[in-house]
Structure 1
Amino acid sequence: MDQYADFDSLSTEKPVTPTVSPEQVLHQVFGYETFRPLQGDIVHELVDGGNALVLMPTGGGKSLCYQIPAMVRPGTGIVISPLIALMQDQVAALNQLGVRAAFLNSSMAPEQAWQTENTLLRGELDLLYCAPERLLQPRMLELLESASLSLFAIDEAHCVSQWGHDFRSDYLGLSMLAERFPAIPRIALTATADERTRKEIAERLSLTQARHFISGFDRPNIQYRIAPKTNANTQLLDFIREEHAGDSGIVYCLSRNKVDATARLLQQKGYNALPYHAGLAAGERAENQERFLREDGVIVVATIAFGMGIDKPDVRFVAHLDLPKSLEAYYQETGRAGRDGNPSTAWMVYGLQDVIKLRQMLEASQGNDHFKRVERQKMDAMLGLCEITSCRRQALLRYFGDVLEKPCGNCDTCLTPPETWDGTEAVRKALSCVYRTGQRFGVNYVIDVLRGADNDRIRQAGHQAISTWGIGTELSATQWKSVFRQLVANGYLRADPEGYGALVLTEQCRSVLRGEATLELRKDPERKASRRTSRPGAERSQHIADPVGWEALRAKRKELADEQGVPPFVIFHDTTLHELLERRPADLDEMSQVSGVGAAKLERYGKTFLDTLNSLPKED
């Protein structure tokens, strides 16, 4: 007999519990005094039975928006999450708080899954996490119809949009929730979606009539910096050594080979660096992700497959060694830094070859003309952010429909305003040389011609006799690369879609060649040592007035986490440890007033951390 078949014989009554308000749950369970902006409105909308579409930046507190309503409303909240590791971490964190949470996924043995299903049907769960492909199975839907449900939460909702940056076909089937469970409130949440993507999310998930809550996209604690790529490995090593030695971070690369090579380089330089990409064995990927979550100071070098929904709060930097395909991807990936609100860095280097490679990949893709047009627009917006001379944060927020009235003061263009120069004459020389050499050569060859190089290749092509040979000696090869990078980025030149890196003129360059337009170009800065006074890491370390106490609290947290097999931040976030160190509570009552210390954690860990604090040397 099928051990799962007899659902009707199981009790579906939820135990009677006292009625509590969302505010009581926020304080007693999660240990926070007040909701963040929009959180309270979203929570009450769901508690009252309404639907919601939520856009809130990474680290903005999206999870509480459905976790608290699921605990206040009768029944179990079903959370649809795309990654097994993410749901396991969230369930572990909720269990630490005394919340009745579980997950169903392919990592479980049949007996474990059966027990979890029975727990659901007995009404003994507040939250149940599962992947979209599992939710859509007929047997799972029958199980849910037999259970008492409080809400559906669709996390990473941009995955439903074909114009989003991370489309997943399984998400399309979630449109049936409105039809099959019309009385159950639904909430869709994402951190990254432009107006077109938001519209598609609402339509596909039947949320056009739901209330839309759009929080500000700004992450003021993140410092955005983008530099021209000269020697990417050296630049990365300098950046980590000077600003983030000992910190946890993520380094993104476009290819698997580059991930492996970069991880090896960092390991050779003494860093605790681990690779992550789809070419690794599943067990190695899982182990590397676990180490990143549970150990301090681990750097993961990864393709974009890594990081969706990663809850690690103390990622101090995200570095890109290759250009992301869109601002949505860039925003989501950089948003994995500084979820705890402490200073963090989003650092990227990019060069002409990045632009050429991405444009070639796009033109060679199998997408239709409409798809390619949309992707070109997204790529152009990404390139625009790279080459902008005004505040990067203002431009980034503007793309998502958000407004920052004044320059942020915490991006590279604000901290060190870039110089510009009238590049009109240089541009005309560059474009003319591309034309005179037949639009058949890559950037290095064209630069050689401009600078009057005398080599076999140029002599064989006869290009030492053309009018543009040797007319560009006033600029170095590096300066010419900057000119060509900006011309490709701004659409005056394009890469040959057939490959080989040949540069081709576009219609846009006519006005410049005819002398009808001028061009201001960005002057790439010369490489300088980082100014230590502006380091995010330095700013953070200055807040630790008692490093001995800080390390003692971290060591105790790590000990407790290792005993239970959970990441340290599941015990307490860094911000909670900072406050414990600052306030030095004398007893459990005083400790209960520390942010992030709810009733369950107070009972479980209160005495242990008080003892640790009391064992520290007394302050003078």
Structure 2
Amino acid sequence: MEIKKSLFDNLQNFFGFDNFKGEQEAIITNILQRKDTFVIMPTGGGKSICYQLPALMTEGTAIVISPLIALMKNQVDQLRAFGGTESIAHFLNSSLNKAEITKVKQDVLSGETKLLYVAPESLAKAENIDFLNLITISFVAVDEAHCISEWGHDFRPEYRKIRQVISSLGENIPIIALTATATPKVQQDIIKNLQMTDSTLFKSSFNRPNLYYEVRPKRNVMKEIVRFIKGNMGKSGIIYCLSRKKVEEVAEALNLNGIKALPYHAGLDPKTRAETQDKFLMEDVEVIVATIAFGMGIDKPDVRYVIHHDIPKSMEGYYQETGRAGRDGGEGLCVAFYAEKDIDKLAKFMKDKPVSEREIGTQILKEVIDYAESSVCRRKQILHYFGENFNEAGCNSMCDCCRAPKTHFDASDNLKKTLKAIRDLGEKFDDHHIINIMMGVETSQITAYDHHTLPYFGSGKEEGLIYWKSLLRQALLNNYLSKDIDNYGLLHLTKSGRSFIENPHTLRFILNRVMETGEDDQDEGSQQGAGAVDTVLLQMLKDLRKKIAKQKNVPPFVVFQDPSLEEMCTHYPSTIEELKQIHGVGAGKAMKFGASFIELIGKYVEENDIDRPVDLVIKSAANKSALKVSIIQNIDRQLALDDIASSKGITYEEILKEVETIVNSGTKLNLNYYIDEMIDEDRQDEVFDYFRSAEVDSIDEALRELGSDDYTREELQLMRIKFLSELGN
């Protein structure tokens, strides 16, 4: 009773809370009784108080092992704000100078410091071990404990040495290990490595009912992101990208579109990262665009959305990153963009890793793919991954799959057939292999095992791949099968699965939606957005183009090409600035031809009372890309195009395409020095005359008209570039 009263007094006095959240009270009591404690609690559940409060109530100093300098600084600042003194909490890491380290050690030795945050690398240093042996350690807290496991999404080898160091600091030092994401396999790894076999496990539900989960096909991704953010103006958000380059590009595109955003990744210096973090916490910026380096332990409770520009490498990573939204229990929107191309990139990252690590990575990545492609409740899938059963009715339509109309199918007969096949084959194969058998696909592995001779080989060909993926995914989610992730993803029958073979019953599963994706990386900011083209306006613009072309004595395509006109009919640009953002326009053409087009569109919009989708006219930094600038500079220096291509690591066809894009956007290029070397004057005149009278600028048409025996495709492309540059720009 005395401990209970003391707990509540300290909670109120120090943190200003009247009540504990979830199992916090039981966890803290367990630590105060000097018992090893293992806490699995989702982001926003209040893990930090679980070790901060007992540290304040216990004699000595608690050592908190934490993986990120940003996380340590954030927590130390908060504790000092609560405690009122600088010395109550310190961190010891590589960011401190000698004088600062001396000050930290003095405060710890004097007994004033109740919590000392240490990076795992710093903990293992001999001088720090010697120092820690001089003080009374109340307990050791291992935060982000999943870093111990190579099965975790953020494995750090230094974490493997923690137990050894703790043992060298004295006997019977209690340990509290904490993590927000741990599959059963990772939990076993943590317990084994930290030698916590007698620890008390406190495992909260992984369900975050306030988070809305959605996966979108990755098309026109920048348009989608800008539109989403403009629909949520005034709210804080985080966008995660896989590469530093993409982080920089997305942050720049957002700023161009009037959204205050900053990039955050490990390539920035520590001072910039700290300033960026502070600006986000102080709401001087709305959005942080980051690699996974950002957000770990950042205590900003009111992040309202988390967007994954690229699908993450693991379900643990996805869960932890989405978990940074809505930590205060308020709105939390989690949107991920999925493209098969991203999966190919992630698979390439793993190519050079050792075989065992690659196998693990492949299985972990496959879980992400299955999650993205499935039509089953997202929440059910996430919780199943962490070993928690969930009835999708409890989702309350807080995911896109539960909100979308579904196609069901009777799964009973084919599930029984599949379960029998897995059993008969000795439970020694993964889902890909089983699907290939049912679909009748003769892979080398299928023929090596003679599985093409099985009676059910090809028996499910008519149902199709989507059907079989849906069936096996839901057989796993409904616990008829289990997957041995650490053993090549082999499928095993569960007790329910064996029972179903003997006593099948009517069962309806959900058919996966076909997620058609296809992001255009070349110029994703300026691709035509979704929405029907206004055919009436399109005809009016074509008539205007024809009129201007006659006045200028040039073919219509020299003024603007068809895709540019079509995009004008979707976005209705009303200023020269907006017109510049239309694909294939650019500053040159906008200034030369734009005024009459803007006037016509403005009049049309007013007369027809059209609501312009201004948020879809996305300003793009693509025209300023380093490659294009470099090509223009090299052409000014009169370098041969094939030499420029070679120096940039691209093909000749690719550089012609880049040069065409530059010219189509209104930049004038003088390629005569190169064309005169490649094509004699008479042939140049013939092609020039052809394009002057042509209705369309098609190279295929030109080849048919001029003869493919006389001209190559590349020669005609070069001449079209010259023609458009001289007459159109």
> What TM bracket, shorter-length normalisation?
0.5 to 0.7
Give me the whole-angstrom Cα distance separating, in 2, the residues matched to 1:191 and 1:321. Answer: 23
Aligned to 2:289: 301
Give me the whole-angstrom Cα distance separating, in 2, the residues matched to 1:23 and 1:241. Answer: 44
Q: Does residue 360 of structure 1 match 2:348?
A: yes
Aligned to 1:329: 317
Q: Does residue 394 of structure 1 match 2:383?
A: no
**Matched residue SS, 1:111:** helix
Q: Does residue 73 of structure 1 match 2:62?
A: no
Following superposition of structure 1 onto structure 2, how do residues 220-369 of structure 1 map, counting pairs within 5 Å? 220-242=209-231, 244-362=232-350, 364-368=351-355
**Matched residue SS, 2:141:** strand
Cα deviation, 1:98-128, whole Å, max 9, x if unaligned, reads 1622222222232222122111111112211
Give me the whole-angstrom Cα distance separating, in 1, the residues matched to 2:259 and 2:92. Answer: 36
**Cα deviation, residue 360, structure 1:** 3.4
Following superposition of structure 1 onto structure 2, how do residues 117-156 of structure 1 map, counting pairs within 5 Å? 117-156=105-144
Following superposition of structure 1 onto structure 2, how do residues 11-160 of structure 1 map, counting pairs within 5 Å? 21-98=6-83, 100-160=88-148
Cα 1:489–1:132 shift into 2, 3 Å: farther
Aligned to 1:605: none
Q: Is the 8 A contact 1:384 1:490 kept in 2?
A: no
**Cα deviation, residue 274, structure 1:** 0.7
Q: Is the 8 A contact 1:46 1:185 kept in 2?
A: yes
Larger radius of gyration between Structure 1 and Structure 2? 2
TM-score, structure 1 length as denominator? 0.66
Give me the whole-angstrom Cα distance separating, in 2, the residues matched to 1:46 and 1:518. Answer: 56
Q: Which amino acid aligns with 1:300?
A: I
| Structure 2 residue corresponding to 1:196, chosen from 177, 185, 201 | 185
Q: Which amino acid aligns with 2:361?
A: E
Aligned to 1:382: 368
Following superposition of structure 1 onto structure 2, how do residues 568-607 of structure 1 map, counting pairs within 5 Å? none
**Cα deviation, residue 491, structure 1:** 7.7
Give me the whole-angstrom Cα distance separating, in 2, the residues matched to 1:154 and 1:131. Answer: 10
**Cα deviation, residue 488, structure 1:** 9.8
Count of aligned positions: 435
Give me the whole-angstrom Cα distance separating, in 1, the residues matched to 2:222 and 2:52. Answer: 42
| Structure 2 residue corresponding to 1:416, chosen from 400, 404, 407 | 404
Q: Point out which structure has higher relative CO (alpha carbons under 8 A, 6+ apart).
A: 1
Give me the whole-angstrom Cα distance separating, in 1, the residues matched to 2:70 and 2:328. Answer: 20
Give me the whole-angstrom Cα distance separating, in 1, the residues matched to 2:461 and 2:81. Answer: 67
**Cα deviation, residue 136, structure 1:** 1.4
Following superposition of structure 1 onto structure 2, how do residues 510-521 of structure 1 map, counting pairs within 5 Å? 515-516=460-461, 518-519=463-464, 520=467
Q: Is the 8 A contact 2:123 2:165 kept in 1?
A: no
Aligned to 2:674: none
**Matched residue SS, 1:522:** coil
Following superposition of structure 1 onto structure 2, how do residues 495-574 of structure 1 map, counting pairs within 5 Å? 515-516=460-461, 518-519=463-464, 520=467, 522-524=512-514
Give me the whole-angstrom Cα distance separating, in 1, the residues matched to 2:401 and 2:408. Answer: 12
Cα 1:525–1:380 shift into 2, 3 Å: closer
Cα deviation, 1:364-404, whole Å, max 9, x if unaligned, reads 13222x32332222112111111221211011001101222
Q: Is the 8 A contact 1:226 1:349 kept in 2?
A: yes
Cα deviation, 1:50-87, whole Å, max 9, x if unaligned, reads 01111100110000111111111111111111111211
Q: Is the 8 A contact 1:318 1:336 kept in 2?
A: yes
Aligned to 1:215: 204
Q: Which amino acid aligns with 2:463?
A: T
Cα 1:75–1:489 shift into 2, 3 Å: farther
Aligned to 1:476: none
**Cα deviation, residue 232, structure 1:** 0.9
**Matched residue SS, 2:372:** helix
**Matched residue SS, 1:21:** helix
**Cα deviation, residue 212, structure 1:** 1.4
TM-score, structure 2 length as denominator? 0.56
Q: Is the 8 A contact 2:262 2:285 kept in 1?
A: no
Give me the whole-angstrom Cα distance separating, in 1, the residues matched to 2:334 and 2:69. Answer: 26
Could you list the runs of 5+ residues in structure 1 that have no partner in the other structure? Answer: 1-17, 423-486, 494-503, 530-620
Larger proportion of helix = 2
Give me the whole-angstrom Cα distance separating, in 2, the residues matched to 1:311 and 1:321. Answer: 22
Cα deviation, 1:475-499, whole Å, max 9, x if unaligned, reads xxxxxxxxxxxx9999869xxxxxx
Give me the whole-angstrom Cα distance separating, in 2, the residues matched to 1:34 and 1:282. Answer: 37
**Cα deviation, residue 513, structure 1:** 5.6
The RMSD of aligned alpha carbons is 2.9
**Matched residue SS, 2:278:** helix
Aligned to 1:571: none
Aligned to 1:598: none
**Matched residue SS, 2:254:** helix
